[in-house]
Structure 1
Amino acid sequence: MVRWAAFSCVLVPVVLVGYGTSLAGATGTALGLAAVTGACRVLLRRSERGAAQLRAAERTPHHVQHGRADTGDCHGDRHGGRHAGGNTPVD
């Protein structure tokens, strides 16, 4: 996609000069297209990195992401409260 944008940065000014636009106007257009192409390329790379990090985070279990040991549940025993014991009936 970026190659097509770079190609258009060259093609558009050539066509503009061919249709009678001044060389300065075509040069300004080429510089504007190059700036937009560069910005889009940076944003595309940032988006691709973010998507790759998101995919990696989805594959990693929740407790590993937060640096906790595997306790069998995501919260461990740090919240307190009543917990059903081994012999306690649960209704």
Structure 2
Amino acid sequence: MNSPTHDSSSDLVRWAAFSCVLVPVVLVLYGTSLGGAAGTALGLAAVTGVCRVLLRQSERCAARTPAEENTAHRARHSRTHSATPRGGRHSGGPSPVD
């Protein structure tokens, strides 16, 4: 089953693609040259493509982040710290001087 985020981003890309077709048609109907409308269509398609790539990358990062945090969290707590002292005073190394 698709997540709500995936559905909304797919819908957004579909509407953007629809706009890439609709806007040039409207421009031609209102008297813009075919070359100008084609240039507009190419520009909108380029922007739509870049936005789609960025949305997909964002979705992948959002899906990957919780899994990585769980792995890092478990790894941090599974380490043994037998060589390092826990609290209190220790006599190793130089101490800072005021």
TM-score, L = length of structure 2: 0.67
Identity %: 65
The amino acid across from 1:81 in the alignment is P
**As a proportion of its length, which structure holds more helix?**
2
Residue equivalent to 1:35: 46
CA–CA separation in structure 2 for the residues paired with 1:50 and 1:5: 23
Report the alpha carbon displacement of residue 26 of structure 1 after superposing the two structures with TM.
0.2
Q: What is the Cα-based RMSD across aligned positions, in Å? A: 2.4
Q: Is residue 27 of structure 2 the alignment partner of residue 16 of structure 1?
A: yes
Report the alpha carbon displacement of residue 15 of structure 1 after superposing the two structures with TM.
0.1
TM-score, L = length of structure 1: 0.72
Deviation track 1:18-51 (CA, whole Å, cap 9, x = no partner) reads 0000000000000000000000000000000000
The amino acid across from 2:48 in the alignment is T
Report the alpha carbon displacement of residue 55 of structure 1 after superposing the two structures with TM.
2.0
Report the alpha carbon displacement of residue 57 of structure 1 after superposing the two structures with TM.
2.3
Report the alpha carbon displacement of residue 60 of structure 1 after superposing the two structures with TM.
3.5
Change in CA separation of 1:82 and 1:45 when aligned onto 2, cut-off 3 Å:
closer
Residue equivalent to 2:18: 7
Q: Is residue 85 of structure 2 the alignment partner of residue 81 of structure 1?
A: yes
Flag structure 1 segments of 5+ consecutive residues without an equivalent. Answer: 85-91
CA–CA separation in structure 1 for the residues paired with 2:63 and 2:51: 18
Residue equivalent to 2:7: none
